[in-house]
Chain A
Amino acid sequence: MSDRIKIEGGLRYSIFQQIGPFDRYNQNSQGVNIDTIHYKTFQNIALYGGLEPRISFRYQLNGESSIKMGYSRNIQYIHLASISSVSLPTDIWFPSTSMVQPTTGDQYALGYYRNFKDNLYESSIETYYKDMHNLIEYKNGVTPDQNSSANPDENFTFGNGQAYGFEFFLKKKSGRFNGWIGYTLSWTNETFADLNNGQTFYAKYDRRNDISAVANFQLNDRWTFSSVFVFASGEALTMPSGWYIVEGNLLQQYTSVNGYRLAPYDRLDLAATYTPDRKNRLAKRQQRFESKMQKKGIDTPYVDRRPKWEKNFKTSWTFSVYNAYDRYNPYFIYFDIHGNIYNNSLTIQAKQVSLFPVLPSVMWNFNF
């Protein structure tokens, strides 16, 4: 619109349709199938659609700073459903159906951006708020075998959520030492009438603090060092909190939904990259050739007769260490339960499983 004001907008319309063949089992309040509706091939079962507008606004305060605002609406027709508290590739992506409405999200963002020292440094402070509707979670106590007598989407319950927070970012763009650091302070809540007695709880992916930092240092033409550090608050999950006895067996009680927080995740990766000095090698080669010719009394200039691919051949070695201080970040926790209370042999031991301890590696990179 002007040098100072820039507005960008977009509009998208998406459609999702569930079609037959499909059998919908209708159940009574006791969970018993009382009727079956059969949908023929290509017969419409559910049709969803909606506008997904987005708009962003930038106001240039001066040559170094600006304010940006944005709004976007997204509609999602597939949903991630985790029956376990562990994130596994077996998590189910479930499409929208006549029972599972599309998830909608309205996100608002406002940020202040500023560069320093002739754009050597970039920085920003942003805040965001996202309103989510039709989120899905498994109902309490759903067992995997319950899919057999009913439609799988009967196992879900639906609710709403909010995510909001602040993001801080600082980047040094160039120089022998460069890198960036980002920090996010955020909350993600969900509210489901059928879960946690209707009370709001933290989402599984709620991360109160999240820090990422990248640093690169070029020692000379041959050696470059880099490091990555990440820190994130632990995942929220539901854990057992107590026992009670029915028919002589111990039954578990649980915390509120996602009422327990795993230990934080943090990790440092280090890398050193060695790039051989090709110019120096070429000069030495030329020097050797000319010295040889001189001894023979021949006066001829050095001509590089190598094929083009060899001339362009570049190589480097990267020596890296993933998880340099061998941090055992929790992937999941389970309880090793042995014995029983009747012969006083019951033992309960919490065990934490972690992935990827310290992993050194050497990598040879080449291109031509």
Chain B
Amino acid sequence: MKINIKYIFGFIFIFAIAGCQKNVNLVLPQPPSQICVDGYVQPGYPAYLFLTHNFAFFGNTSANSVLTEDIVHGAKITVNDGVTTDTMIEAIPTLGLYATPKMRGVSGRTYNLTVNAQGQTLTAATTILPAIPLDSTWFQLQTGNDSLGYLWAILHDPPALGNCYRWLVERIGQDTAFVPPYQSAFNDAFINGQKFEFFFDRGRFPGSQAKDDTNAERGYFKKGETCIIEFCTISTVSYQFFNEYYYQLSNVGNPFGSPAPVTGNINGGLGIWCGYGTSFDTVYCK
């Protein structure tokens, strides 16, 4: 009988590690109280913003406690686009969602955000960059599958370097909002000026327990679905935020990973204020 020595060493290593592991109760330093902005603005729509504040690492661990304790109400939020200034209202107070009642996003404009809440002042600025539409989009079955597949597209990246993109999809009649898949933001470092095909799987809402998010259909689009692709140009700062954002999400709990702080563009706070230069495509999955 042949015994691969690497398996023996592997077994010994795992045994040694597993045998010397125990639960510990740590007393971690409390983070300073900070407000988190999760906001965006896109052409033709109000600017939206979720406002919450941070909580301790061993603190709130349920949606109920977050919704009751960590949403920031009564904030004074103004958005200036260089032409007018609008003050946000709490559109859905239970979710901490604010929106501009009058202002709508306009491509090419820079949106300056000021948030005053809980004695803190936060500022940020973002620009809606010109949209770069996809050349074509289609649904393609996954090899060996007769009903499930991914959404494909062709993008012709402009010659200038530094373009950054984000991809979101809403299935009509099924999703309540556009959903970004994992690693939905990318830049043109490798594909500058190229015309190329690419695809994305289907994203899901965090914590979704929907049937097709928990069974074998997870990550796939299905024949018969109608999808709207929202393809966005975003700033480099926003791209870096989402790149670090996804890296941290994939790295949580990894003992060998480095600390992965996410650098946002909110002065005096946490989070991201992102301008989306949007283009839309509708794909019927057939």
Q: Report A's interface with B, CB cutoff 8 A.
A: 28, 30-34, 83-86, 88, 90, 138, 140-143, 149, 238-249, 251-255, 259-260, 328, 331-337, 340-344, 346-357
Contact = CB atoms under 8 A, between A and B. Distances in A.
Contacts of B271: 244, 246
Nearest to B71: A245
B70 to A, nearest CB: 8
Interface string B175-211: 0000010000001111010000000000001111100
Contacts of B55: 242-244
Interface stretch (B29-37, B77-85, B115-123): B29-37
A142 B244 CA distance: 9
A259 B29 contact: yes
A249 B249 contact: yes
A84 B257 CA distance: 5
A355 B26 CA distance: 19
Contact of A240 (B52, B57, B60, B247): B57
Interface stretch (B3-11, B16-24, B126-134, B144-152): B16-24
Contacts of A253: 31, 34, 54, 57, 261, 270
14 contacts: A32-B188, A33-B189, A140-B261, A141-B248, A141-B262, A241-B29, A246-B36, A247-B206, A249-B249, A251-B270, A335-B252, A337-B253, A348-B57, A352-B23
Given A34-B161, A252-B57, A252-B252, A141 B21 contact: no
B29 A83 contact: no
Interface residues of B, number: 69
B20 A356 contact: yes
B20 A244 contact: no
B28 A255 contact: yes
Contacts of B59: 242-243
Interface in B37-83: 38, 50, 52-64, 66, 70
Contacts, number: 192
Given A255-B29, A344-B61, A350-B23, A244 B253 contact: no
B263 A140 contact: yes
A355 B20 contact: yes
Given A253-B57, A333-B255, 4 more contacts: A83-B258, A142-B258, A348-B61, A353-B21
A339 B53 CA distance: 21
Contacts of A83: 258
Contacts of A84: 255-258
Contacts of B94: none
Q: Mostly helix, strand, loop or mixed at chain B's interface? A: loop
B162 A341 contact: no
Contacts of B138: none
Those 9 A-B pairs whose CB atoms lie nearest each other, nearest first: A342-B207, A334-B255, A242-B31, A248-B206, A344-B62, A340-B207, A244-B36, A354-B20, A346-B61
B15 to A, nearest CB: 12
B143 interface: no
Contacts of A344: 61-64
B236 interface: yes
B28 A239 contact: yes
A355 B29 contact: no
Given A30-B162, A86-B256, A260 B28 contact: yes
Given A252-B252, A336-B253, A351-B24, A260 B258 contact: no
Contact of A351 (B19, B21, B56, B57): B21
Contacts of A342: 63, 206-209
Contact of B161 (A32, A141, A245, A341): A32
B97 interface: no
A102 B257 CA distance: 27
Nearest to A138: B258
A239 to B, nearest CB: 6
B66 A238 contact: no
Q: Which of B22, B36, B53, B255 gathers the greatest number of chain A CB atoms within 10 Å?
A: B255
Given A243-B57, A340-B206, A346-B61, A141 B263 contact: yes
A312 B236 CA distance: 76
Contacts of B249: 249, 251
Contact of A241 (B31, B245, B272): B31
Contacts of A246: 36, 38, 245, 262, 271-272
Nearest to B28: A241
